Amino acid sequence: MREYVKSGELIVWIGNANSISIPKDKALEWFSAEEIAAWQSLKFDKLRCFYAAVHLAVRTNIASFFDVCPSSVAIGKKICPRCGSFRHGPPALFVGNKELSFSLSKSYPFFAFSVARCAVGIDIERKNQEGLSRLGDDVFSSFERKNIIQWGDPLALRYWVRKEALTKAQGVGIAYPLRFVDVSKPYLGRSQFDSIYVEGRQGKWLVSDIPADSTDCLLSVAIPLREADYAIKVLQAE
């Protein structure tokens, strides 16, 4: 078995569910009761297949990386930082008896997930989305709005992806007032990718824009600013 996740290491997988070749019957064998319920609640076969392929890909890629059996990889939850509940806390990944910070994002047919020792959040979104520039002050700060007026939907989507990644890393989700999260300020320190710096009630954070050349998507990942020297390794999910 590979020695856990190294200190200072953030691993990101990017994949296309249509290219994932995994026996779908493994879902019932490896999924948790919560995952099975979520899978069964989806009304369309296309979405069920997408969900199954992504969650199975998480297990097989993590298992291959750590040299363990896929059945020893489980997706769970941490305690909610706002109310202390396990029912809706941020996700965690369990590899044998090891717990990792984990984040997963889907934008059909693409997906991305990441693991690290520190808090982490990831978001991936298809580029062909329109109308985000019309979202009101509940989502974008006044400074972000000024930039969006000039550059339109593409910049609005970039801001949205950063905000999603950030709120996931914070463990609060988009219930947090997004207008208070300004994701337009470039990080001037040393960084592996183009990054922005955020300081707010949830502390100081670094959000990096990860190239996703194999997809038609935007992708961002967020970690605490104190971990800014993390080495980000980007892998193709198989």
Q: What was the pLDDT predicted at 134?
A: 81
Q: What is the pLDDT of residue 112?
A: 98
In the chain, % helix, strand, coil (3-state, to 5) comes to 35, 30, 35
Q: Provide the whole-model pTM.
A: 0.91
Sheet with 91-95: strands ordered across: 73-77, 91-95, 98-107, 110-116, 9-16, 231-236
Q: How far apart are the first and last CA of the chain?
A: 20
Helix boundaries (H) for 72-218:
142-151, 153-170
Q: What is the CATH number that goes with domain 9-236?
A: 3.90.470.20
| DSSP H stretches of helix in the chain | 26-30, 33-41, 45-66, 142-151, 153-170
Residue type, position 112, single letter: A
**Domain boundaries along the sequence of the chain:** 9-236
3-state secondary structure of 41: helix
| pLDDT tens for the 238 residues of the chain, in order | 565 677 788 999 999 999 887 665 666 788 888 888 998 999 999 999 899 999 999 999 999 999 999 889 999 888 776 676 766 778 889 998 888 999 999 999 999 999 998 999 999 999 988 878 787 778 888 899 999 989 989 999 999 999 999 999 988 766 667 888 899 999 988 888 999 899 876 789 999 999 998 788 999 999 999 988 889 999 999 8
Closest CA to 226 of 94, 122, 117, 103: 117
For residue 129, what pLDDT is reported?
A: 82
What is the pLDDT at residue 109?
95
pLDDT value of position 232: 92
Q: CA dihedral defined by 62, 64, 67, 70, rounded to 10 degrees?
A: 60
Q: Closest Cα to residue 101, out of 227, 187, 15, 236?
A: 227
b/e sequence 189-204, b meaning 16+ C-beta within 10 Å = eebebebbbbeeebee
Q: Where are the alpha helices (DSSP H) in 89-152?
A: 142-151
Tens-place pLDDT, residues 41-73: 999 999 998 999 999 999 999 999 999 998 899
Q: Which residues pair with 123 in a beta bridge?
A: 220
